[in-house]
Amino acid sequence: MSLRFALTPGEPAGIGPDLCLLLAREQQAQTLIAIASAALLRERSMQLGLDIALIETGPGRWPQHPAPAGSLYLWDTPLSKAVTAGQLDPANAAYVLQTLTRAGQGCLDGDFAGMITAPVHKGVINEAGIAFSGHTEFLAELTRSEQVVMLLATRGLRVALVTTHLPLKDVAAAITAERLSRVARILHADLQDKFGIAEPRILVCGLNPHAGEGGHLGREEIDVIEPALERLRAQGLNLVGPLPADTLFTPKHLERCDAVLAMYHDQGLPVLKYKGFGAAVNVTLGLPIIRTSVDHGTALDLAGTGRIDSGSLQVALETAYEMAQGSRKLQATSHK
């Protein structure tokens, strides 16, 4: 029996529905359920010139095997208003959130082994009068998770972030021993629990050039990072560093690590996106469920045109499958 996963197409006027339909041309390795409007997918399928059979399903009648090539399992979730590709409409904000709620709650209830999300448009949801800052925060609230961590991954590299969307001038003050320790513990735990890596080896970037060069280029490594890492090592975490970021991201280091922990957004992610251009995936760690996402936006101008690449969504699917299988493998080993 295959595992079952939820797929949410995100903003209905964007390329998310197109990506779902393009993926359905070939059979997936696991059972994938799109949580979307049947009317939307039928219309978009006609626009794209695709012949995709929609097989409706839902609670109490879940399929046990992947859909055949050229078909897509669908949990019909009606729109509030008909959609024109490329044109945002706040009227459908509640629809977007309902698809996320159905997927997230389904994971909590055990209906799905994980969820994969296509991009949403935060602005139009807020225009509808709904406070929304993103998938991560929404799912953290839904699952009552206090702490989450952003991990970007592509084939052969995983990069987690201590700080995310902060101005560069605020980064140093945000890297506290408490924050660094919390992020490192979540990363270590989820590499074990969700990727099935029994003893993860994590490379940690320094904050400053040359990791501070003994204090001559900054003291954050000496005063904050190194002491925090020492305490974590004493608790059993395999953390290497802090290392200069310019030499850490080289093959001789990366081939012997399970993940890199970067101090800030543009320290780690340019390397990952260069390595995995068009095939990077966003993973939310710290949730009690598995959630992966594409690493691109809604691309409103490309919706309905067929001029898109489904590579990022395919990697998001593969990563969710890998995480679910790794988690089950580790659980089976621990119960022996």
* Residue 273 labeled ligand binder: yes
Q: What sign has the CA pseudo-torsion 276, 277, 279, 284?
A: positive
204 has which bridge partners? Answer: 261
CA distance 124 to 298: 12
Which residues, listed in sequence order, are joined to residue 205 by a DSSP beta bridge? 243
Q: Give CA–CA dist 330/115, Å, rounded.
A: 20
Task: Round to whole Å and give the CA distance between 10 and 36.
Answer: 9
Is 179 annotated in a binding site? The answer is: no
61 is in an annotated binding site: no
Half-sphere exposure of 114 (CA within 13 A, CB side): 28
Q: How far apart are CA 136 and CA 113, in angstroms?
A: 18
Dist CA 246 CA 33 (whole Å):
42
333 is in an annotated binding site: no
Interatomic CA distance for residues 163 and 174, integer angstroms? 7
How far out from the chain centre does Cα 99 lie? 16
- Side-by-side strand order, sheet with 4-8: 53-56, 71-76, 31-36, 4-8, 114-117, 291-294, 281-285, 149-154, 157-161, 259-262, 201-205, 238-243
Is 126 annotated in some ligand binding site? no
Q: Is 252 annotated as a binding residue?
A: no
* 178, HSE (Cβ side, Cα atoms, 13 Å): 3
Q: Is 216 annotated as contributing to ligand binding?
A: no
Q: Is 32 helix (H, G, I), strand (E, B) or coil?
A: strand
Q: Is 121 annotated as a binding residue?
A: no
Residue of 284, 281, 289, 285 whose CA lies nearest to 101:
289
Which residues line the annotated binding site?
A: 135-136, 165, 210, 265, 273, 282, 291
Which residues line the annotated binding site for substrate?
A: 135-136, 273, 282, 291
Which residues line the annotated binding site for a divalent metal cation?
A: 165, 210, 265
